[in-house]
Structure 1
Amino acid sequence: MAVEAYFEDIEDKIIRVLRSSKYSVKICVAWISGKIYTPILEDLANRGVNVELVYDNNSTNLRHGVPLSNKYKTYAIDTRLSSSLMHNKFCIVDDEILITGSYNWSNKAKDSFENIVVIRNEFELIKDFLHEFYDLIAYYDAFSSNYVRKCHCGSNLFNLGILGQESGLYDESKIDVWSVCVKNNHVSHLGEEYAQHLRAQLGMKYEPDWCLETYDKDSMLSEFQQERSRSNSLQNYFNSRSGLRIHAIGTIAMDNWNGHMEWDEEPEYIVNIFWRDMYLRKLIPETLYDDYFGGINEIISDHV
């Protein structure tokens, strides 16, 4: 692994790395100048480099222009909430170089105090950024077909499935489905659903078959493709299934296991969320904590 940090001449450093690409460039930035980067990206595309650009669909980009071209794919991200941004600033080159930092790829960025780091061959880290990149493309693809329900308090709602234990020949699990208010934890029990082999689909039984001692780019891409396939399969499964719509799957877990076992502390429970609908992931937290007298406590108490 090699890591380089830059605080001056950042635009030139970015352009040099882009021009060094052999087969792929994936750019994900909040702001980007069409004047600066369109000719560079078109030149890469003309050389056979697969170029993909994800950017925030904000007024600054609309006013000043982004690098639009029929030579490569672009995705303008409209976020869930009017006050939020797609604020990432990273680029992946040939699946082996990562550029990230505070620097916006805009006309005025070079006048500000900014930074980037260029990271080479840190494949576990690059894989995480690859997932974020394609998560955003999935978010873009689903934008027009999704909406967020509102609670009576005005907050957003999502449907949470609490996954029970598997049983039977087909590893069937009961899923208790709850409507959950994001801001104030208002909840209501919507009903029960059943699913087969869901824990395996969620990766809760998943064991990779590659050797981490030789974790190179090929290993990373193989792992990434398997994880991506599982993620896409889950998204398609929950989008296409009949019955109650489910936006997240979680289980009840003890948060203070060591303290409870060693010091006889009172057990404290949480909801660990293993899967979230790609389109609602910024609304749904990864963990729901017991609020003791509120809705999350009602969910936890119903399952312990």
Structure 2
Amino acid sequence: MIRAHFESIYDRLIETLGKARHSVRLSVAWMNPELFSDAIDNLLDRGVQIAIAYYNVLANRRLKPYFHGRRINFYPVTPRWYGAYMHHKFCIIDDEVLITGSYNWTKNAARGFENVIIAEHEFELVKQYKHEFEDIKAFVNGDDTRQSKLCFEHPHCRSEAYHLAVFYPNDGNAPMATGIWQVCERHRHAKLVRSEPYTADDEFEVEREDFDEPTDRADSIEARQAKMLREFATQRESIEFIKGATAKRFGMPIDAYGSVRMKDEALHSKSGGSGFVFPEYEIVVQWRDVYYRKTVPESLSADDGYGRVIRGKEWTW
């Protein structure tokens, strides 16, 4: 059930928070702690686990000191790019209720035209927000090694770069099974830094299967929630497995991974009417470190300058 609210939003927030039994995960751009102090104290007294991710700016600096001594996990978020915001306003309660919308958790928000939706038992939606919250935690807890890779492959570039693991199809034409590419964020310069031919070891093929299952809306709420939590855990474990296995195999961490696949609209003519057609391929990125999420696209195509990476051919200048 999803309901939209445009007035008395603060009252709806307090009411919904008060129903929490196990956990509250809040990601918010701005928050006045005194407005929610009583509600949070009541939750803590009942043993509810609370985690708050917030935009790390001056207006929020008193948030953590205000709740000093309370059992709350805080995640101050400083966006990577100058002038960028951490603009979330969502809350996950007991892995079954989602609050999201334009409303900041502040006194001034009540004076404006704002909105929230409160979604109950919409578990596919909850799962997506759970992934986002875990990504935010990973962003906050990440180390500086993510920022240490620079592009030296082209004169005068020096842009930040990332390591992309590409899994190539075993179709008899691929030059390798897996390639680790250092890709320049700004100009898309690419260099093959590690590679591996095809072998009988197919562990990556197994781990790259999709884990989503169809959901029967007739199932009980408890069954649908349990199914969502299993899927969520499996998806997170799959990401960690591929990251760890790749790092172990090639002796270096990766920042993203994807597979070469044929485009849905791949078969089309480029012959000017001669009738000759051939497939087009792209790299579908299945995971990106959140640090690079704003610069690593969801798919890499030859039209965007990634042709040699897709074909597995070393870059030449």
Q: 1:143 and 1:68 mapped to 2: Cα distance?
A: 26
Match of 1:163 among 167, 170, 174: 167
Going from structure 1 to structure 2, the CA distance change for 1:234 and 1:60 (only over 3 Å counts) comes to farther
Moved over 6 A (4+): none
Aligned pairs (5 A) from 1:66-145 = 68-69=67-68, 70-144=70-144
- Deviation at residue 18 of structure 1 after TM alignment: 0.5
Q: Does 1:274 align with 2:273?
A: no
2:182 is equivalent to residue 179 of structure 1: yes
Q: 1:224 to 1:252 in 2, by over 3 A?
A: closer
Matches within 5 A, 1:1-304: 2-62=1-61, 65=63, 68-69=67-68, 70-144=70-144, 146-151=146-151, 152-165=156-169, 174-193=177-196, 197-201=203-207, 204-207=208-211, 212-213=215-216, 214=219, 216-238=224-246, 242-257=250-265, 259-260=267-268, 265=277, 267-291=279-303, 294=305, 296-302=306-312
Task: Please give the secondary structure, in 2, of the residue aligned with 1:189.
Answer: strand
CA shift, 1:300, in A, is: 2.7
Give distance in 1, aligned partners of 2:106 and 2:276: 56
- Deviation of 1:142 after TM superposition, in Å, equals 1.6
- SS of 2:132's equivalent in the other structure is helix
> Cα offset for 1:45?
0.7
CA distance in 2, matches of 1:207, 1:97: 23
CA spacing shift, 1:254–1:192, aligned 2, 3 Å: same
Counterpart residue type for residue 57 of structure 1: N
> Deviation per CA, 1:209-248, whole angstroms, max 9, x where unpaired?
x773235112212222222222333344455555244222
Partners of 1:239 and 1:31 in 2: CA distance: 37
CA distance in 1 between partners of 2:169 and 2:32 (Å): 52
- Percent identity of equivalent pairs: 31
Q: Which amino acid aligns with 2:181?
A: W
CA contact (8 A) 2:168 2:260 kept: no
Deviations 1:38-97 (A, max 9, x none): 3321221111111111112122212x5455343221111222223322221100111111
Gaps of 5+ in 2: 270-274
2:110 counterpart letter in structure 1: K
Change in Cα spacing, 1:143 to 1:102, as seen in structure 2 (3 Å) is farther
Shift in CA distance, 189/265, structure 1 to aligned 2, threshold 3 Å: same
Question: Do the aligned residues in 2 keep the contact of 1:157 with 1:179 (CA within 8 Å)?
Answer: yes
Relative to structure 1, is the Cα distance of residues 196 and 258 closer, same or farther in structure 2, using a 3 angstrom cutoff?
closer
Deviations 1:126-167 (Å, cap 9, x if unpaired)? 111111111211222224553253334353311222213469
Distance 1:178 1:222, change over 3 A: closer
Deviations 1:235-284 (A, max 9, x none): 444555552442222222232546439x8655433221123234433332
When the two chains are superposed, the root-mean-square deviation of aligned CA atoms in Å is 2.8
Amino acid at match of 2:251: G
Residue 198 of structure 1, CA deviation: 1.6
Gap runs ≥5 in structure 1: 168-172
The structural deviation recorded for 1:11 is 1.3
